Amino acid sequence: MFGNWRHICVDMQRMFAEETPWRVAWMEAVSPQVIEVAERHAARTTFSRFCPPARPSDAPGMWRTYYEKWWMMTGEHLPPDMLALVPELARYCPPATIFDKRAYSPWIDGRLHAFLAMQAVDTLVVTGGETDVCVLATALGGIDLGYRVIVLKDAVCSGADETHDASLTLLGNRFSAQVELMLTEDFLSSEQESR
Residue 20 within a domain: yes
State how far the Cα of 8 lies from the Cα of 141, in Å rounded to an integer. 12
Residue 163: inside a domain, yes or no?
yes
The boundaries of the domain holding residue 14 are 5-51+84-193
Residue 71, in any domain of the structure:
no
d(CA 120, CA 3): 10
What CATH number is given to the structural domain containing 161?
A: 3.40.50.850
Give the count of domains, the chain.
Answer: 1
pLDDT one digit per residue (tens) for the chain, 195 residues = 888 999 999 999 999 999 999 999 999 999 999 999 999 999 999 999 999 999 999 999 999 999 999 999 999 999 999 999 999 999 999 999 999 999 999 999 999 999 999 999 999 999 999 999 999 999 999 999 999 999 999 999 999 899 999 999 999 999 999 999 999 999 999 866 666
Query: Residue 62 domain-assigned?
Result: no
What is the model's pLDDT at position 193? 66
Can you give the pLDDT at residue 1? 82
Residue 173 counted as domain residue: yes
Contact status, residue 191 vs residue 44, Cβ threshold 8 Å: no
Residue 160 main-chain phi, psi, to 5 deg: -130, 110
Note whether residue 58 is domain-resident: no
pLDDT given for residue 93 in this prediction: 95
Tell me whether residue 67 is in a domain. no
> What are the distances in angstroms from CA 171 to CA 108, 124, 136, 174, 177?
20, 14, 8, 6, 10
pTM of the predicted protein model: 0.94
Tell whether 45 is covered by a domain: yes
